[in-house]
Structure 1
Amino acid sequence: MPTARSATAIEAVNLGKTYGRGGKAVRALDGVSFAVPTGVVFGLLGPNGAGKSTTVRILSTLSRPDSGTASVAGVDVRREPARVRRAIGYVSQKPAFDPMATGRENLVLSGRVYGLSRHDARERARGLLTRFGLGDAADRLAGTWSGGMQRKLDVAMGLVHRPRVLFLDEPTTGLDPEARADLWAEIDRLAAGDGLTVLLTTHYLEEADRLAARLVIVDAGSVVAEGSPEQLKNELRGDSVQVELAGGDADGAGHRARHAVGAVPGVADVTVEGGVLRARVGNGAAALPGVLAALDAAGVEPAAITMARPSLDDVYLRHAGRAFREADRAEGVLV
Structure 2
Amino acid sequence: MQSLLLPTAAVAPVAPPCGRRNLPGRLSVRASATVVAAPRRETDPKKRVVITGMGLVSVFGNDVDAYYDRLLVGESGIGPIDRFDASKFPTRFAGQIRGFSSEGYIDGKNDRRLDDCLRYCIVSGKKALEASGIAHGSKPMEKIDKTRAGVLVGTGMGGLTVFSDGVQNLIEKGYRKITPFFIPYAITNMGSALLGMDIGFMGPNYSISTACATSNYCFYAAANHIRRGEADIMIAGGTEAAIIPIGVGGFVACRALSQRNDDPKTASRPWDKDRDGFVMGEGAGVLVMESLEHAMKRDAPIIAEYLGGAVNCDAYHMTDPRSDGLGVSSCIKQSLKDAGVAPEEVF
Relative to the length of structure 1, the TM-score reads 0.24
* TM score, norm. by length of structure 2: 0.23
**Relative CO higher for 1 or 2, CA cutoff 8 Å, sep ≥ 6?**
2
More helix by share: 1
Q: Pick the structure with more strand per residue.
A: 1
